[in-house]
């Protein structure tokens, strides 16, 4: 009897609960469609692959039911935006096809780089370039030189591109062929990510390099729309001449009034500085000027000579290839030729010669004036900005600041 009572009571409770509660309706709102390159994925048949050996755009499109007359129009529509003959082996492409019995390609998407892709609209036809969403993080990295900046970067698992950028920043103030063991650096820079994958470095925002006891600071700053690097006082790091005609390499022979010539086997003056580097290494004009010789001579080999003004002239010997012509105006940092061993040379190098007031001098001993400093009206703002960067360099081994660059920028 007691069991029957409790059983009936339990049943009544269940009935009461079920009768008094309505099913809860949850409004989840409209569902976001699954997107691919800013197209709704469910609206297409999607095929993704990589460019294979001997594969070209036309064969891919034809395989996806685009006929040859249409392909011809598409190729013409791509001119000026996308080089259809420049697709590279291994790059990713996506074909968006009609979700019907024809399965005809409606859009072809080719990834130029990890951050950029090309879209071909088959029907119109038209082509545009778009950017993926890129995330920027900033980081402070530091290191101590054992042999070279490049090796120090790679040994510390830093991007080699960071070494190239720092070499550009200090191109007027540090000779990277003469780094000393124990030199050290700090650099505050941007790292770029797409879909959480590191794709390369962005801008260097600030850095400092201690070279043979001298601390050289550099801050990225925009003045009247022009970005450059300045020291803590607002003086430009840019000078009239680069420290070297090569970005990287080594000095194999210095300027000397009495050197034993390796080919002629006799003692004579060597009024230049030899920089050894692999054949084909770019040779840079160390300053703005006009080419007054771009030719070949028995001892000099292929060479270029540049007059910078009434005071300074430079010369670059033993090239494998000359890229400028006599009378041509050149800019500082412009590639004027490639390293070689033409003329009187035992191996690939560039002999760099420097004239001051008509007399050959050792360019490494010369002191050159800096470019125009910051506008005085900007100095106060610059110093506040530089101080904030300095605090980051001084007090943080690793700093992460995130910034999102939105994608789908069309050209």
Instruction: Taking the CA atoms of 274, 276, 282 and 287 in sequence, report the sign of the dihedral they define.
Output: negative
> What CATH fold (topology level) applies to the domain 35-131?
Nuclear Transport Factor 2; Chain: A, (3.10.450)
pLDDT of residue 61: 97
Domains 35-131 and 250-361 share a fold: no
pLDDT band for 23, please (50, 70, 90 cuts). Answer: low
31, 43, 47, 115, 179 from 120: Cα distances, Å: 28, 17, 15, 17, 50
- Residue 181 to residue 189: CA distance in whole angstroms: 24
Task: Look at residue 26 in the predicted model and tell me its pLDDT.
Answer: 58
CATH number assigned to the domain with residue range 250-361, chosen from the 4 options 2.70.70.10, 2.40.50.100, 2.120.10.30, 3.30.2000.10: 2.70.70.10
pLDDT confidence tier of residue 82, bands split at 50, 70 and 90: very high
Question: Lowest-pLDDT range, 59-73, 144-158, 258-272?
Answer: 258-272
Q: What is the pTM of this model?
A: 0.70
405: pLDDT strictly greater than 90: no
114 against 27, higher pLDDT:
114
Q: What is the pLDDT of residue 250?
A: 81
User: Which helix (H) or strand (E) element contains residue 266?
Assistant: none
Rounded CA gap, 283 and 276, in Å? 11
Pick the CATH number of 135-239+374-405 from 3.40.50.2300, 3.30.2040.10, 3.10.450.350, 1.20.810.10: 3.10.450.350
Burial of 26 (0-12, 13-18, 19+ CB in 10 A): exposed
- Per-residue pLDDT tens for 173-215? 888 878 889 999 999 999 999 988 999 999 999 999 999 889 9
Query: Looking at residues 361-380, what average pLDDT do you find?
Result: 85
Q: Which of the two residues, 213 and 314, has the higher pLDDT score?
A: 314
Q: For residue 167, is pLDDT > 50? A: yes
Stronger pLDDT, 313 or 28, i.e. the higher one: 313
Domain residue ranges of the chain, discontinuous segments joined by +: 35-131, 135-239+374-405, 250-361
Is 88 within 8 Å of 103 (Cβ atoms)? no
Q: Give residue 399's pLDDT.
A: 45
Whether the CB-CB separation of 80 and 103 falls below 8 Å is answered with no
pLDDT at 174: 87
Predicted local distance difference test score (pLDDT) of residue 256: 72
Mean of pLDDT values over 301-305: 97
157: left (phi over 0), alpha (psi -120 to 50) or beta: left
pLDDT in the model for residue 132 = 92
């Amino acid at each position: 009897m007691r069991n029957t009572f409790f059983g009936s009571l339990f049943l009544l409770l269940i009935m009461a609960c079920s009768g008094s509660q309505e099913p809860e309706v949850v409004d989840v709102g409209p569902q976001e469609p699954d997107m691919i390159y800013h197209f709704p994925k469910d609206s297409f048949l999607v095929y993704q692959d990589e460019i294979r050996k001997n594969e070209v755009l036309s064969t891919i499109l034809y395989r996806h039911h685009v006929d040859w007359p249409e392909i011809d129009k598409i190729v013409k529509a791509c001119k000026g935006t996308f080089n259809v003959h420049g697709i590279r082996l291994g790059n990713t492409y996506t074909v968006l096809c009609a979700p019907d019995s024809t399965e005809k390609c409606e859009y072809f998407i080719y990834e130029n780089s990890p951050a950029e892709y090309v879209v071909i609209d088959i029907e119109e036809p038209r082509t545009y370039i778009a950017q993926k969403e890129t995330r920027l993080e900033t980081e402070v990295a530091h290191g101590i030189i054992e042999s070279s900046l490049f090796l120090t970067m790679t040994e510390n698992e830093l991007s080699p591109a960071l070494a190239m950028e720092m070499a550009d920043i200090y191109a007027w103030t540090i000779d990277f062929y003469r780094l000393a063991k124990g030199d050290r650096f700090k650099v505050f820079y941007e790292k770029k990510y797409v879909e959480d994958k590191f794709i390369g470095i962005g801008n260097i925002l600030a850095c400092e390099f201690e070279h043979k006891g001298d601390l050289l600071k550099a801050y990225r700053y925009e003045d009247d729309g022009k970005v450059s690097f300045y020291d803590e006082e607002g003086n430009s790091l840019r000078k009239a001449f680069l420290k070297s005609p090569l970005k990287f390499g080594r000095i194999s022979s210095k300027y000397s009034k009495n050197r034993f010539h390796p080919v002629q086997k006799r003692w004579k003056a060597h009024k230049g500085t030899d920089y050894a580097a692999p054949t084909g290494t770019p040779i840079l004009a160390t300053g703005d000027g006009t080419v007054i010789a771009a030719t070949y001579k028995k001892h000099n080999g292929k060479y270029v000579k540049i007059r910078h003004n009434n005071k300074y002239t430079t010369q670059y010997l033993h090239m494998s290839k000359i890229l400028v012509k006599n009378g041509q105006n050149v800019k500082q940092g412009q590639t004027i030729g490639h390293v070689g061993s033409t003329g009187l040379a035992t191996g690939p190098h560039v002999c760099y010669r420097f004239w001051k007031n008509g007399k050959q001098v050792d360019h490494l001993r010369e002191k050159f004036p800096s470019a125009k400093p910051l506008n005085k009206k900007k100095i106060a703002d610059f110093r506040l900005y530089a101080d904030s960067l300095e605090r980051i360099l001084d007090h943080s081994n690793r700093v992460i600041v995130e910034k999102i660059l939105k994608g789908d920028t069309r050209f």
